[in-house]
Structure 1
Amino acid sequence: MKELSKPAETDKGLGQHLQAPMQRRSFFRYAGATAAAATLLLTTSCDDDDDGPMNPPMEGTVNLGSADVGILNYAYALEQLEAAFYTAVVAQSASALSTAEMDVMKDLMAHEVAHREFFKAALGNNAIPALEVDFSSINFNDKNSVLSTARTFENLGVAAYNGAGKLFTDTGVGLTYLLLAGKIVSVEARHAAAIDDLIAGGNRFGEEFIDSNGLDRALMPEAVLKAAAPFIATKIDFSNLPK
């Protein structure tokens, strides 16, 4: 596998957007544009190096792969799910959400699509195919259904990245991926807080997901994919992921 170039950071840009108190949408749009730009900064994709022996693929399933490629595909699968959800919300939920709420949904959609395309570009030929989603349990014409599902997805995403970080290799390109995953999980946490704000007007911030040490929860891939399974029609084989 070949290493990715690291996006340059300066003391301008995001900090300027956060200085003004009433510019949440400006921040969302900036963050989405930054994630999209990161995709363009990839100098190469993962190549087809052998990551070691793999279990034979199960019939009718998508195998995530192994080692760092497997973890990237795991993240890619989750970002596909989130991007598909917010795309459906923007297309179908105009009657259920206020204009301000829909503006937030559009911003979150832009972020998740950028994350999805980032992982697709990083994986190159190793990327899993597009997953088939199943949103039949979601009522896109009901505000509570939309927001509660968004809350589930965002908090699940935070826990997934927190749990997967330690599975990357601890040298070279694995550390680069870990750095990028850390930047994405911080955005997912901001999403979760934004959804909590829409649900309860700033009276809650997902405190039930934070332990006595002030740390957010972390879930391993098996638990995350089990929770996400009702929304993904494609069967996912994660048996080769690092443990």
Structure 2
Amino acid sequence: MGSFHCFLAILGLVLLPALCTSQDTFTRSRATYYGSPDCYGNPTGACGYGEFGRTVNDGQVSAVARLYRNGTGCGGCYKVRCIYPPHCSNEGVNVVVTDYGEGDRTDFIFTPKAYGKLANSPASTEILFAYGVVDIEFRRIPCQYPTPNLVFKVHEHSKAPLYLAIVMQYVAGQNDITAVELWQEDCKEWRGMRRVFGAVWDTQSPPSGSIDMRFQVSGSAGVKWVQAPKAIPSDWKAGAAYTSDIQLT
């Protein structure tokens, strides 16, 4: 296989999502992989993450279908292990969902970097790639990143002051963002943003000045609203990323 050295290089990498310490039950499924010239993710993935979706977790990411959940599943972290002894690693791989994709009765379509981590040796890596599709077991785990604070990325298609789209990055823990609202000062009310696709939320005619935001989080602690005052500065620019003081666990 021409890219075999790329697959071997991933065996010693440290995963960003944290290992799960609970005893949650694994679910059986199947996994495959998609071609990638550099073994990283897809910058045009259906979650709208762009370059973040290509390189987060050092490219150990996955497209999903059933787990995509109309975009709510974007950013979710999963532990996945294949079940083909003696070729499979006991640790498996921890991946971040960054794209939508359908396979042959598969729940995961990995990057080559992620798929190679399923194996327990270089020889087994080659065998698993030859299989193309493998039986696996998986469970959701909390995400944990070197960057502990939530980041608000202004989507490149935004155009001040008429149109604002945002993507939330580094959503830690085992959390889903299910709603986003902006404070409308003139009306003294919260105005909902629209989920465009994946993790991208937008609004026409965004508020002027710095933008206060709140978002609904669904996770292990239940459902709650989290407020982010001045989340987006008044001089925001398309493509810019703004780090908040918020840390989700």
Q: TM-score by structure 2 length?
A: 0.25
Counting strand residues as a fraction of each chain, which structure ranks higher? 2
Counting helix residues as a fraction of each chain, which structure ranks higher? 1
Q: TM-score by structure 1 length?
A: 0.25
- More contact order relative to length (CA 8 Å, sep ≥ 6): 1
Report which of the two structures shows the higher radius of gyration computed on alpha carbons: 2
